[in-house]
Amino acid sequence: MSDRLINILIDSFPKIIVPGLIYTIPMTAIAFAISLIIAIATALIQIADIKVLKNIARFYIWIIRGTPLLVQLFVVFYGLGQIGIKLSPVVAGVLTFSINEGAYSAETMRAAFESVPKGQMEAGECVGMSYWQIVRRIVLPQAMRTAFPPLSNSLISMMKDTSLLANITVAEMFMSAQRIVARTYEPLWIYIEVGAIYLIFSTFLTMFQRYGEKKLNTYQYK
């Protein structure tokens, strides 16, 4: 490795990681929080078994899970602009990732809700709790223990998938790396460097996942 290449990598590191801290991580966190709300609502609709709403929820999940994320991103950013709905790249990215992850997480949450024994619902009804009180205080906390590991995996996958946002001009890490490659003509090492930064972020999220699982398991047996 030449001195020139070492200097390029040292110079490019902050230029790649700063957009990651400004765009990649915040956008991932916001999109995942919104997707979790969508997922819980969609799962509850399916469990409630109201035919019309359940069919709408299943149709939403079918469409989103059956089409590529990149296509969805282009439809939201470029397609909606043709009918007068113009969104900034950041807003379009957050919206698309929220809707996409909401569909996948909805199935995770549905399975988690169904894993809670029905006797828990009946016990809540016996003490006079309303349906929403039962869901909020009894069902949801237990379901989250089951759903936490797969949801954490989805969060890590979403963070890596933000590299697709370079296709709609969001100046996140991957786009920064592309610009550096265009200037330095060192694609191999620059892309290895950006991959290493994604790995660092993923490692921190994995540590958070393990910490969260430990805390939930400790709380479960108190």
The number of beta carbons lying within 10 Å of the beta carbon of residue 196 is 12
DSSP symbol at 172: S
- CA dihedral sign, ordered 22, 201, 66, 63: negative
| Distance, CA of 147 to CA of 160 (rounded, Å) | 20
The number of beta carbons lying within 10 Å of the beta carbon of residue 67 is 12
Helix (H, G, I), strand (E, B) or coil at 140: helix
Domains of the chain: 3-220 (1.10.3720.10)
| Distance, CA of 182 to CA of 219 (rounded, Å) | 51
The number of beta carbons lying within 10 Å of the beta carbon of residue 105 is 26
pTM above 0.75, yes or no: yes
Q: Are 70 and 93 in contact (CB under 8 A)?
A: no
| Distance, CA of 22 to CA of 157 (rounded, Å) | 18
Residue-level pLDDT, tens digit, the chain, 222 residues: 688 899 999 999 999 999 999 999 999 999 999 999 999 999 999 888 788 999 999 999 999 999 999 999 999 999 998 898 999 999 999 999 999 999 999 999 999 988 888 777 777 778 778 777 888 888 888 888 889 999 999 999 999 999 999 999 898 899 999 999 999 999 999 999 999 999 999 999 999 888 888 877 765 444
| Token output for 150 | 């797969």
